[in-house]
Amino acid sequence: MKQFKFFLMAALCSVFVLSSCSDDDSLSGTPPSEIVKAFNEMFPNATNVSWTTIDDYDVARFYDAGTRAEMMQPNCTAWFSRTSNRWSMTDREIPFSSLPAAVRSAFESSVYAQSPWTVDDEANVLERAGSETFYVIEVDKNENGTETDVDLYYTLEGKLVDEVIGAPEDDNHIDFVPEQQPMTPREFIADRYPGARIEDSDWEDGFMEFEIRHEGYEKEVYFNFRNEWVGTWWEEPRFSSLPDNLWSNLWSKGYHDIDDDDIDVLDSRRGIFYAIEAERHDDDWLVIVDQDGNIVKEFPEDWEDGWWSDLWDEWT
């Protein structure tokens, strides 16, 4: 069921991110004076500055004398929110050799450091307002005439948090610009799950995962790179907490031998969903039920072979 959990997180995350980030790049004149002032204070040595507008951001491309670049070409990008007039992210190019030792060590022990992969001699540093800094290493390989590009995102400690396959060569990393949310992740958890105790937090499969203890359950709360809550997952062993008509709906569709020891719950902005394994006509099925007890999806025993593509198309 773990694959079910992570795919639902990814599908829901894509809905929230893709709907708000069209990556629409347009030319712009001088941005508001508040943004120009903030930029000049942060980057007093910036030269060759040019501005563009991307979605809800004014974006400055410039040369920073503090880092290496050929022919003084722009090697930094600074993102400022047009809503708050505040800085959101800086994307800097640095030599691969300037990466933190923990990042280099983690990369060099990975498969991407081995042939046929080759690594770019430049890396990127994403400094993000109120959020963790990421280090981006670009690798590629060419096998049988097919080229594959991958961007690897690491934390300062060398934790690999994301692998973006097929990223464009001129990727502007807009998906990693942190949004200014009404609450921090910890504040959100305290508000949505009163009395919850945070036991651990770490990056997991491209999400910031908080392990919490709430109302007797061990729950996992996920946030994306933009600090948006994606969903919360836990196992539900108590039948009394399930919708009253759930069982009758399952039985009416011919399901039996329901696995009551393995029911997963996903709390999300789309509502609460239950994933239940059951049998029908001597075949095993995975059944997705909403918070009202209605069956919304049914997948056969071989659901691991591709059911997620159907759900992905529907939810994105």
Distance between CA atoms of residues 192 and 181, nearest Å: 15
Backbone angles phi, psi at 41, to 5 degrees: -70, -35
User: Quick one: CA dihedral 293, 294, 297, 300, positive or negative?
Assistant: positive
Omega before 168 cis (within 30°)?
no
Domain with CATH 3.10.450.360 in the chain: 24-176, 185-315
What CATH code is assigned to 185-315? 3.10.450.360
pLDDT per residue, tens digit, the chain (316 aa), is 455 555 555 444 444 444 444 455 555 567 999 999 999 999 998 999 999 999 889 999 999 875 554 544 568 999 999 988 999 999 999 999 999 999 999 999 999 999 999 999 999 999 999 889 999 999 999 988 899 999 999 999 999 999 999 877 777 898 899 887 778 899 999 999 999 999 999 988 778 899 999 999 999 999 888 888 888 999 886 666 777 788 888 888 888 777 666 688 888 888 888 888 888 888 888 888 888 888 888 887 665 544 444 443 444 3
CATH 3.20.20.100 is the classification of domain 24-176: no
Q: What are the tokens at 90?
A: 């800086």
Write down the pLDDT at residue 277.
Answer: 83
Write down the pLDDT at residue 21.
Answer: 45
- Enumerate the H helices of the chain as residue ranges: 2-18, 33-42, 101-108, 185-192, 246-252, 307-315
> Are the C-beta atoms of 34 and 290 separated by less than 8 Å?
no
Which of 207, 223, 226, 222 has the alpha carbon at shortest distance from 55?
226
> Are the C-beta atoms of 265 and 233 separated by less than 8 Å?
yes
Write down the pLDDT at residue 86.
Answer: 92
Write down the pLDDT at residue 307.
Answer: 44
Distance between CA atoms of residues 245 and 295, nearest Å: 10
Q: What is the pTM of this model?
A: 0.71
Distance between CA atoms of residues 86 and 88, nearest Å: 6
Write down the pLDDT at residue 303.
Answer: 55
CA-based max dimension of the chain: 72
DSSP string, 186-234: HHHHHHHSTT-EEEEEEEETTEEEEEEEETTEEEEEEE-TTS-EEEEEE
Write down the pLDDT at residue 304.
Answer: 53
The residues facing 221 across adjacent strands are 210, 232
Dihedral (Cα; 96, 97, 101, 102), 10-degree rounding: 10
Q: What are the tokens at 121?
A: 């001699």
